[in-house]
Amino acid sequence: MTPVIEVESLWTQFGDHVVHRDLNLVVMPGEVVSLVGGSGSGKTTLMRQILGLEQPTRGTVKVFGIPLQGSSAQLVQKIRKRWGVLFQEGALYSALSVFDNIALPLRELRAFDEDFIGDMVMLKLDMVDIERRHASKMPADLSGGMIKRIALARALVLEPELVLIRSLHQKLNLTVVMVTHDLDTLVSLSHKIAVLAEQQLIVYGSLKEAIAVQHPFILNFFLGERGLRALSAVGASVKLSGKD
């Protein structure tokens, strides 16, 4: 099976400041990967590089086996139709209604008629638990939580194979890469955890593997009071040996 995402010996440098040092990451189809790390550890930069919004200093990022750097614009455009991206604040177009926001990617394809698009939008609204009467509202009239769910509906409307997201609150049967600080979703939804610290992935594996690593960030993040509570909620066994 071809990996969905393949990051190979990636270096990112801003002037003298090294953000990623020879970083490698492989995401296989169907995996839900959580990307965690302290602030300034380069999570957002890595995410933006996977999305092709930023260029790494060195190394390659392949999505669906196609390198984002050096591929033709048409090919990159094709990749962009196969993933769904959910931005932190939803990033709905404020000039368009909820309906038109979700219909936008479908209309861009010019393959389906309005009748079909209408039913599809309603179906996606149902799937993210938004009542249909909100379809004609403008994003400004909605709460932040609703905006995020509608943005998820928009991200899912083209039936993507991969979803890149900041904090997920609902199970999706897709390949998912998410940046999150929310321990509850991280513990309950993700298959693999990638911990970004000291310019590299210090762990990339299951939750058990992650918490076994002795690193100040991991100790703080997973084995602090909040972390232990989230872990005990899912019954993960936690070994605290070696901690003073």
Interface residues with other proteins (CB under 8 A) are 1-2, 4, 29, 64-66, 75, 81-82, 94-95, 109, 111-113, 115-116, 118-120, 122-124, 126-127, 132-133, 135-136, 138-140, 158-159, 161
Compute the least distance from the CB of residue 225 to other proteins, in Å.
28
Q: Of 132 and 226, which has the nearer Cβ to other proteins?
A: 132
Compute the least distance from the CB of residue 124 to other proteins, in Å.
8
What's the half-sphere exposure (Cβ side, CA atoms, 13 Å) at 42? 25
How many whole angstroms separate alpha carbon 225 and alpha carbon 223?
7
Q: Of 18 and 76, which has the nearer Cβ to other proteins?
A: 76
Compute the least distance from the CB of residue 95 to other proteins, in Å.
5
Compute the least distance from the CB of residue 169 to other proteins, in Å.
19
Compute the least distance from the CB of residue 78 to other proteins, in Å.
8
Q: In sequence order, what are the residues at sequence separation of 6 or more whose Cβ sits closer than 8 angstroms to the Cβ of residue 166?
A: 47, 86, 87, 88, 178, 179, 180
With 0-12 / 13-18 / 19 or more C-beta atoms within 10 angstroms meaning exposed / middle / buried, residue 133 is exposed
Q: Of 73 and 140, which has the nearer Cβ to other proteins?
A: 140
H or E element in which residue 52 lies: none
Instruction: Map tokens 């602030």 to a residue.
Output: 39
Q: Which two tokens stand for residue 231?
A: 């872990």
Paired with 61 in beta bridges are 7
Q: Of 11 and 112, which has the nearer Cβ to other proteins?
A: 112
Other beta carbons within 10 angstroms of residue 98's beta carbon come to 25
Q: Of 22 and 108, which has the nearer Cβ to other proteins?
A: 108
